[in-house]
Chains A and B, each alone.
Chain A
Amino acid sequence: MTESVITCRNVSKIFGPNPAQHLVQLKADPGLSQAGYVHAVRDVNLDVRRGEMLVVMGLSGSGKSTLVRCLSRLIEITGGSVTVEGRDIATLSESELIDLRRSKMGMVFQSFGLLPHRSVLENVAFPLEMRGQDRSTRYARAREMLELVGLKGREDYFPRELSGGQQQRVGIARSLAVEPDIWFLDEPFSALDPLIRREMQDEFLRLKGMMNKTIIFITHDFDEALRLADRIAIMKDGRVEQCDTPDQIVLHPATEYVAKFTSEIDRARVVHIGSLVAPLTAPATGEPVAAYRTIRDLARQLISDPRVEIPVINDKGAVIGSVLRQTALDVLLGDAH
């Protein structure tokens, strides 16, 4: 098991006049609902592993944005604990917290959160400026970041002169400027048009491939979550309903709520051969298929393949097991039963 970068234990967040007291009352009477109090995050336990991309998915009001703000202590939690790199962040002093953010964290926001009075370059250089880096160093780094996100030549523009997609590229460049280990993205593409969103997702996957970061990505778009995630945490009413890989969520939804989400999904596009692998019962015969391919990728082959059992290889070419053609066809065509 890889180590956990962020650990949440029983994290709760209550908004209201006296949250701590309300939490105590809730312990005694879990069904309590009192006017003036909003229980945004309830008893969340989560481990974010180093280098993985965890997508937190939920509809609006599910508490996903609050949760991610608890992880960076933009919001103080009411109960439980959040540990980042082994340190309980609630115990950090203000300057330690600032240090942590300056060196380890980056965040991208839904409405970009750019400073309107600063040029693109100055916006990207902002976190470096906060760290006190000298002007030429931080501008050089900011230019590098802007080139990375494809905004070379727009350095002197002001945010309002850019399109939404371009503004979010600036937001991304800014969040990456300090080379954070942990990268938070709060619905980064939700404010964009569908076409641009798709383009930005591709862009994001490209960037993600170039670096090795722990990523927490918030979205309300299940397709987006499936497309990008290593693991997905589905939230409802402040609780995490299920946290697992896309394949597992699609194949084995833990709750009815999750099942409702997955029912509309073309599972064949999500499920990889690898997640259906079973140990070989007989020596492999014929052409193997690669574990990273989705069922949809192999649809033609699956339908026409006469074999009952198809061997599966990993990315190194070694056979890791086989998949039953029937199982794969079930995913592709929907359950027969």
Chain B
Amino acid sequence: MGRSERYAGTAKLLLALAVGLMLFKTVLPQGMIRPPEWLVLPFADWINAVFAFLQNDLGLMAVTRAFSDVVEWLLNVTANLLYGKSRWPNLGPIPWSVIAVTAFMAGYALKGWRLGLISGGTFVWIALMGQWKWAMETLSVIVVAAPFSVTLGLVLGVLAWRSPRFERVLNPILSIAQSLPHFAYMIPVVVFIGVGPKAGAIVTIIFSVPPMIRMTLLGLKKVPEEVIEAGKMSGATRWQLLTRARIPTARSEILIGVNQVIMQCLAMVVLASFIGMPGLGQKLLQLLQSLKIGLSVEIGVTIVLLAVTLDRLTKAWALRLPVHEAASPSWLIRNRLLVIWLALCALGFGLAHFFPYFLEVERKQALSVAGPIDALMDQVIRLITPVTLWLRWFLITWVLIPMRDAYLWLPFTAVLLLLAAVGWAIGGLRSALICVAYFGLIAASGWWDRAMITVYMVCISVVIAAILGIPLAIWGARTPIRAGRILLVCDTAQTFPSFIYLIPVIMLFGVNDVAVVAAVVVFAAVPMVRYTIEGLRNVPPEMIEAADMSGATRAQVLWHVRLPMALPTMLVGANQSVMFSLFMVIIAAFIGTQDLGQEMQRALSSTDVGKGLVLGFAVAFMGLMTDHLITRWSETRKRALGI
């Protein structure tokens, strides 16, 4: 208790200082309003020097090119098999009917009819909608990138588990890596690898490794001690222990890691179209650029379906518990699924041989729902234009421009003190120092104004997301059915490739910050809603019953029991909300912003590694600081609630 009171005292003092700086802004020296020149360090030049050294003097270029050649070779193999690119082994393309049947059988074998229909159906949809080649271009990269990531993640995870020192080094790197915006990864890859599918594959590999490392480490740490001891007492060597006891026992966590790798791969592979990755992402980009909303939505749906399929399949695989087979002497019965699969594949190959329709559905034969979607979109825009016009006027005039000016008006020293105050109030000196260090580095990067614009947009978006999302979640948490439906909408909204929202929001709001905020809110609201529902639904029923028996009204139960108990979970949601907003604000540079994202985009098109990474780190630091503060706060709350 005493500690937190002392925290509050110091925090108030710091807050007062910050307010003082703001009040006396007019008399402050320029060096306290904006980072003075001596403070701004040429990080970008340093990073560029390091990269130039790596690239030219160390000859790392040769290494990366060699690695990318291997990746390219593998990509060619999968490309040949999946969509018939004329490369070794020159066997493909595998008919879509065979792949759909295979997906169905995989789903059926792992979980049953429903999953079978979902996964088989996804591929049927892709084929019938005439998107086969694009989807296969995308998949051919995932098929290569995911195993690389998994292997790399497994090896690094095992190393981190073996050596606590390595873990200590790796952990902060992973944290930063997981909060770097996607584009920051792309620039170095463009420098070292170039553009095109292999660059797409490699950026995907790099991007998707961190969760695998984390899950491997977690899984290995969770292996019950007795299993290890049993292994040791069986006379297992260290290697035997690792490969036959630890890793298999950590199977579930490792497979969840695989699941996350695949999901990350899918997200990145779509975005990698910015560096020449062909496939669904590129097609989507082209369609959006020619304002073909309907066709873009079709591709968006395909991406969502693919994500759902891959997610469910790998999760089912991860959570599958081994079941013994009824002893049966017959090979045929024991391997009946294999036999059925082979038979169906043979059938598929046969059909494809005689009817090209089952090999590939041509664009001309493809179905499309684009027309109605476009018409609907048209109607919607026409209908709500008065509303959006008013909203645009209101938000810009009364909210966004004043807020933006306020953020830019703040002296940077006042911001640092303010953050120190918040940090101190939440976690004492350590948190205060962490906050100041992160934002101090941002100040020293020389991108202060742009960073403040990013901060302003993220803040506004998260607040709007909370205003919209939390009541929705409270309403949704009332019944399980409602909750399920809302969560489904959330999942879908989140799985849609992020840039699909960019064009509709421009059409609704025009090129301005309202459009940016609208696009970001979609992403920021999802975790907010999800975690609020989860938090509310997981309040122990005894507590609610106790409150009911005390004669509390529904509102009182909500306000005094459910929301306080759900708060720690909701904070996790808020944390993710900030993360998602940061990523989306960067992508929203394609609408037109003056923040870090715009500079990031420029760095990408001029392949300026140093600048790109500096901007990326600036964004990552904002995320990490929020993460630190919210995590600390949530822990304190949890401890106070005894959960």
Contacts and interface: CB of A to CB of B under 8 A. Distances in A.
B226 interface: yes
A102 interface: yes
A72 interface: yes
A117 B224 contact: no
Contact of B234 (A69, A101, A110, A158): A101
Contacts of B244: 115, 126, 129
B226 A126 contact: no
Given A101-B235, A131-B235, A109 B323 contact: no
A99 interface: yes
Contacts of B233: 72, 74, 101, 105-107, 127, 175, 184
Nearest to A109: B226
B234 A130 contact: yes
A161 interface: yes
Interface string B139-163: 0000000000000000000000000
Interface stretch (B65-73, B245-253, B301-309): B245-253
B324 A117 contact: no
Contacts of A102: 234-235
B322 interface: yes
A42 interface: no
B243 to A, nearest CB: 11
Contacts of B234: 101-102, 126-127, 130, 174, 178
Interface string A136-159: 000000000000000000001110
A156 B324 CA distance: 5
Interface in A150-183: 156-158, 160-161, 171, 174-175, 178
Interface of chain B: mostly helix, strand, loop or mixed:
helix
A114 to B, nearest CB: 7
Contacts of A109: 226, 229-230
A334 interface: no
A116 interface: yes
A160 B319 CA distance: 14
A129 B231 CA distance: 11
A16 interface: no
Contact of B249 (A95, A115, A160, A174): A115
Contacts of A156: 324-325, 327
Contacts of B235: 98-99, 101-103, 127, 130-131, 178
A61 interface: no
B226 A98 contact: no
Given A98-B235, A115-B249, A157 B226 contact: no
Contact of B226 (A105, A111, A160): A111
A119 B324 contact: yes
A69 B229 contact: yes
A158 B226 contact: no
A107 B324 CA distance: 26
B144 to A, nearest CB: 27
Count chain B CB atoms within 10 A of each CB in A95, A114, A115, A178 and give the residue with the most: A115
Contacts of B248: 115-118
Interface residues of B, number: 25
A117 B226 contact: no
A130 B236 CA distance: 5
Contact of A161 (B224, B237, B324): B324
A214 B386 CA distance: 89
Contact of A157 (B229, B231, B240, B324): B324
Contacts of B324: 119, 156-158, 161
A117 B232 contact: no
Contacts of A74: 229, 232-233
Count chain A CB atoms within 10 A of each CB in B231, B235, B237, B248 and give the residue with the most: B235
Contact of A114 (B227, B240, B323): B227
A317 interface: no
A131 B244 CA distance: 13
A59 B277 CA distance: 64
A180 to B, nearest CB: 9
Contact of A107 (B227, B229, B321, B325): B229
Nearest to A69: B229
Interface in B232-278: 232-238, 240, 244-245, 248-249, 251
Contact of A113 (B230, B251, B323, B325): B230
Nearest to A161: B324
Contacts of A157: 324
B237 A116 contact: no
Nearest to B327: A156
B230 A110 contact: no
A174 B321 contact: no
B230 A107 contact: yes
Interface string B205-239: 00000000000000000001011011111111110
Interface in B154-180: none
A156 B238 CA distance: 27
A175 B238 CA distance: 19
A131 B230 CA distance: 14
A129 B224 CA distance: 21
Nearest to B236: A130
Contacts of B245: 115
B224 A113 contact: yes
Given A113-B226, A113-B227, A158 B321 contact: yes
Count chain B CB atoms within 10 A of each CB in A69, A72, A111, A117 and give the residue with the most: A117
A112 interface: yes
A221 B589 CA distance: 69
B226 A112 contact: yes
Interface in A70-121: 72, 74, 94-95, 98-99, 101-103, 105-107, 109-119
Nearest to A129: B244
Interface string B584-625: 000000000000000000000000000000000000000000
Contacts of B236: 98, 130
Nearest to A158: B322
A114 B232 contact: no
A102 B235 CA distance: 5
B251 A117 contact: yes
Given A157-B324, A161-B323, A130 B229 contact: no
B324 to A, nearest CB: 4
A23 B232 CA distance: 27
A307 B323 CA distance: 66
Nearest to B227: A113
A119 to B, nearest CB: 7
A72 B411 CA distance: 66
Contacts of A111: 224, 226
Given A98-B235, A111-B226, A116-B248, 18 more contacts: A98-B237, A101-B234, A105-B233, A106-B233, A107-B229, A109-B229, A113-B229, A115-B227, A116-B249, A116-B322, A117-B249, A127-B233, A130-B235, A130-B240, A156-B325, A160-B322, A175-B233, A178-B235
Interface of A: 69, 72, 74, 94-95, 98-99, 101-103, 105-107, 109-119, 126-127, 129-131, 156-158, 160-161, 171, 174-175, 178, 184
21 contacts: A69-B229, A98-B236, A98-B237, A103-B235, A105-B233, A107-B233, A113-B227, A113-B229, A113-B230, A114-B230, A115-B231, A115-B249, A116-B251, A117-B248, A117-B251, A126-B244, A127-B233, A130-B235, A158-B324, A175-B233, A184-B233
The 8 closest A-B pairs by CB, nearest first: A102-B235, A113-B230, A113-B226, A127-B234, A107-B233, A156-B324, A158-B322, A101-B235
